[in-house]
């Protein structure tokens, strides 16, 4: 496993000069990959796998129900020390200490939430969650340790007994929302273990012209998250291109990223951008050849 990952890393270096995308299977264990964007920007490549070091626990303050906001208490614990982790134990990544990527079993209701710390309860975080569906959700905490090691730590939240249908496998490469049209393409057909560059071109639907006024959102011009169809893994996606240095900066008309899928089959991607002062999330479905 270690060897294959190293090979994959070398391959991705050769192809696009970026680190490996790594499957994380936290239903059982959480693999992690050092995901050093700063290092990447400077040409450094010190990605490597580690055993999971953190554990995630979620406790809703009441029953979760579709369409209703519910407070949830979150504890992130260092497995070795048993110590709960607060903001000072985590590094800033994309302007936040902790990102939650939440998705239901059909991979349709995706939400990106930033928990906050309760000053009265050290070691405890909280967030409000409004599930749209009465199903089980997977919550992936995206946390970066001060040494730059990034981990995805998974846990489940049950919002009802409804069984989620399998994610649709039909390819969806375009999306339209909030006056923008998004078209996804890949430099090469997606294949397990093979690096590819993805690009999402954005057009203003009113004028039909390429849209080049993307605003910074969490220290980037766009965030892309990719879930494998088995619902049990999240793929590493590395944004490419310059990061904004000020709020006034604009970018477009495309956002580019690097991905190296670790799972074959359906791949669901969500792109999150900010334009005209509004945040927009759009879904895509691609397929990864074995």
The residue range among 61-69, 91-99, 180-188, 227-235 that interacts with Cu ion, by the rule CB under 5 A, is 91-99
Q: Does 99 bind Cu ion (CB under 5 A)?
A: yes
- Phi and psi angles of residue 101, each rounded to the nearest 5 degrees, phi first: -110, 115
The secondary structure element, H or E, covering residue 15 is helix 2-16
Q: How far is the CB of 236 from Cu ion (least distance, A)?
A: 15
The residue range among 53-61, 98-106, 190-198, 203-211 that interacts with Cu ion, by the rule CB under 5 A, is 98-106
Q: Does 97 bind Cu ion (CB under 5 A)?
A: no
The residue range among 96-104, 143-151, 161-169, 174-182 that interacts with Cu ion, by the rule CB under 5 A, is 96-104
133 and 66 Cβ atoms separated by less than 8 Å: yes
Residues 205 to 264: which contact Cu ion by CB under 5 A? none
The residue range among 12-20, 93-101, 167-175, 185-193 that interacts with Cu ion, by the rule CB under 5 A, is 93-101
Q: Quote the distance between the C-alpha of residue 128 and its chain's center.
A: 19
Name 84's bridge partners: 77
Q: Does 36 bind Cu ion (CB under 5 A)?
A: no
Q: Which is nearer to Cu ion, 140 or 231 (CB)?
A: 140
196 and 259 Cβ atoms separated by less than 8 Å: yes
Q: Which is nearer to Cu ion, 36 or 112 (CB)?
A: 112
Residue nearest to Cu ion (CB): 99
Sequence-distant (≥ 6) Cβ neighbours of residue 158 within 8 angstroms: 64, 136, 137
Q: Which is nearer to Cu ion, 76 or 190 (CB)?
A: 76
Closest CA to 47 of 76, 28, 74, 20: 20
192 and 261 Cβ atoms separated by less than 8 Å: yes
Q: How far is the CB of 140 from Cu ion (least distance, A)?
A: 11
Closest CA to 182 of 170, 190, 174, 191: 174
Q: How far is the CB of 94 from Cu ion (least distance, A)?
A: 6
Q: How far is the CB of 281 from Cu ion (least distance, A)?
A: 12
Q: Could you write out the DSSP letters of every residue in 211-239?
A: ---BBPBTTBS-EEEEEETTSSEEE-EEE
Give the interface size with Cu ion as a residue count (CB under 5 A): 1
Q: Interface with Cu ion by CB under 5 A: which residues? A: 99
């Amino acid at each position: 496993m270690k060897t294959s990952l190293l090979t994959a890393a070398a391959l991705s270096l050769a192809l696009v000069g970026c680190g490996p995308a790594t499957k994380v299977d936290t239903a059982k264990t959480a693999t992690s990959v050092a995901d050093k964007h700063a290092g990447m920007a400077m040409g450094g490549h010190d990605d490597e796998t580690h055993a999971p070091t953190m554990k995630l626990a979620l406790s809703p303050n009441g029953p979760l129900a579709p369409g209703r906001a519910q407070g949830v208490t979150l504890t992130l614990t260092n497995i070795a020390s048993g110590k709960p982790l607060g903001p000072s134990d985590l590094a800033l990544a994309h302007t936040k200490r902790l990102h939650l990527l939440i998705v239901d079993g059909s991979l349709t209701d995706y939400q990106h939430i930033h928990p906050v710390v309760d000053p009265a309860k050290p070691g405890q975080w909280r967030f409000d969650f409004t599930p749209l569906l009465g199903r089980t959700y997977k919550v992936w905490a995206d946390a970066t340790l001060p040494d730059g090691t990034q981990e995805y730590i998974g846990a489940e939240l049950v919002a009802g007994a409804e069984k989620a249908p399998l994610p649709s496998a039909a390819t969806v490469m375009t999306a339209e929302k909030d006056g923008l049209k998004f078209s996804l393409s890949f430099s090469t057909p997606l294949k397990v273990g093979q690096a590819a560059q993805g690009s999402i071109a954005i057009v203003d639907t009113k004028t039909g012209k390429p849209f080049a006024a993307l605003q910074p959102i969490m220290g980037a011009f766009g965030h892309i998250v990719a879930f494998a169809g088995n619902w049990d893994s999240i793929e590493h996606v590395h944004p490419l291109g310059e990061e904004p240095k000020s709020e006034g900066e604009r970018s477009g008309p495309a956002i580019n990223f690097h991905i190296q899928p670790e799972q074959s089959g359906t791949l669901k991607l969500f792109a999150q951008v900010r334009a005209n002062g509004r945040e927009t999330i759009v879904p895509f479905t691609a397929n990864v050849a074995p």
